[in-house]
């Protein structure tokens, strides 16, 4: 019996080791395959009317008496039957969500969601964007705003709801909406541009460390982290910021013609109630209130494009495998970043 116990223990350890090796080999192979191609994804669609209906029915079941509930269901069935006879088609509302980070990474999903809805939506429908972003990189939020412009150009009404914050690049996206709704204390505005970076040239010089930068083109590098910055380079960098700010102002003014753009393009932010007075928003209202109201006479569909995770991503290996590449790439781009903030 002691021999059998030892043998079983040895067999269990061997099997465990073999399985662990196989998992590692499969993960490495999947990681190598995934480096050269983008993971696929799929569009998820949820009908929000069913969500609101299930919450209401759950509350009714808890609050109403049995006879009251039975009578209510009978009236609802009769009303639904009558509505089906009079009008078989209800307007549709497509709901999108954008939770922005500094790189506007959410645009990778939103672009697919917009492409999908434009194949079906008509000017009779509506798109509602629940937006939350404090801004970030110019090129990222420029692309995100351009995706929303596709909706406007298709003639489909676009409503933007801001419950917490739509500042800087976030407001650049919000201004494309035909209507902007804001919660009373949401943060809006910050129509300005900022760029900042450290400079350690004097520290390197103190320790007799040389840093060489070879460029072709007078303004290939203006401000640097390790090299010595010049007054000419600073002036050029500031000119670039001013040019970007002017483009930002013109873009906002194009879609919010009621604004006094010079009064609001100072980099300041306003809370929702004050933003209404500045005409940065059109109405004080939360997204929950607006969507619940629209659900009474329209069909609401929430769209979300979900990317398929590779095996290494599921095991958390992709982040460590790309960390070194990401750090090197980040340092190489540090001097070229502009931020809507």
Q: Which residues form the catalytic set? A: 168, 220
- Tell me how far apart the alpha carbons of residues 28 and 37 are, in angstroms, rounded to a whole number: 15
**In contact, 166 and 132? CB cutoff 8 Å:** yes
**In contact, 102 and 70? CB cutoff 8 Å:** no
- Tell me how far apart the alpha carbons of residues 276 and 284 are, in angstroms, rounded to a whole number: 7
SS3 123: coil
SS3 192: coil
Residue 3 Cα distances to 6, 14, 217, angstroms: 5, 16, 78
**In contact, 203 and 255? CB cutoff 8 Å:** no
- Write the DSSP symbol of residue 238: H
Tokens of 317: 């290996």
Beta bridge partners of residue 301, listed in sequence order? 47, 94
Residue 144 Cα distances to 66, 109, 193, 251, 271, angstroms: 51, 10, 17, 13, 23
Indicate left, alpha or beta for 217 from its phi (over 0: left) and psi (-120 to 50: alpha): left
Rounded to 5°, angle at Cα 211 from 205 and 215: 140
**In contact, 300 and 48? CB cutoff 8 Å:** yes
- Write the DSSP symbol of residue 268: -
């Amino acid at each position: 019996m002691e021999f059998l116990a030892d043998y079983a223990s040895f067999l269990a350890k061997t099997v465990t080791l073999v399985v662990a090796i196989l998992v590692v080999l499969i993960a490495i192979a999947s990681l190598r395959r995934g480096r050269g191609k983008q993971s696929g994804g799929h569009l998820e669609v949820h009908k929000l009317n069913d969500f609101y209906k299930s919450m209401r029915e759950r509350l009714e079941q808890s609050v109403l008496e049995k006879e009251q509930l039975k009578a209510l269901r009978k009236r609802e069935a009769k009303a639904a039957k009558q509505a089906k006879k009079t009008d078989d088609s209800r307007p549709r509302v497509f709901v999108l969500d954008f939770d922005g980070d500094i790189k506007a990474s959410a645009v990778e999903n939103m672009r697919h969601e917009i492409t999908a809805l434009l194949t079906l939506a008509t000017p009779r429908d509506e798109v509602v964007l629940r937006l939350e972003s404090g801004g970030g990189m110019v090129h990222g939020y420029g692309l995100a705003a351009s995706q929303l412009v596709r909706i406007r150009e298709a003639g489909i009404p676009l409503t933007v709801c801001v419950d917490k914050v739509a500042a800087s690049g976030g407001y650049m996206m919000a201004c494309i909406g035909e209507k902007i709704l804001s919660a009373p204390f949401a943060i809006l505005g910050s129509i300005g541009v900022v760029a900042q970076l450290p400079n350690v040239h004097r520290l390197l010089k103190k320790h007799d460390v040389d840093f060489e930068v070879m460029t072709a083109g007078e303004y290939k590098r203006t401000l640097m982290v390790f090299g010595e910055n010049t007054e000419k380079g600073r002036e050029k960098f500031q000119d670039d910021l001013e040019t970007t700010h002017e483009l930002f102002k013109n873009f906002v003014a194009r879609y919010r013609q009621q604004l006094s753009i010079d009064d609001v393009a100072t980099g300041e932010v306003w809370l929702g109630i004050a933003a209404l007075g500045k005409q940065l928003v059109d109405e004080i209202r939360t997204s929950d209130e607006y969507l619940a109201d629209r659900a009474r006479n329209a069909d609401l569909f929430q769209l979300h494009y979900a990317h398929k995770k590779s095996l290494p991503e599921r095991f958390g290996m992709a982040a460590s495998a790309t960390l070194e590449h990401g750090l090197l790439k980040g340092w190489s781009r540090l001097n070229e970043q502009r931020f809507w903030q």
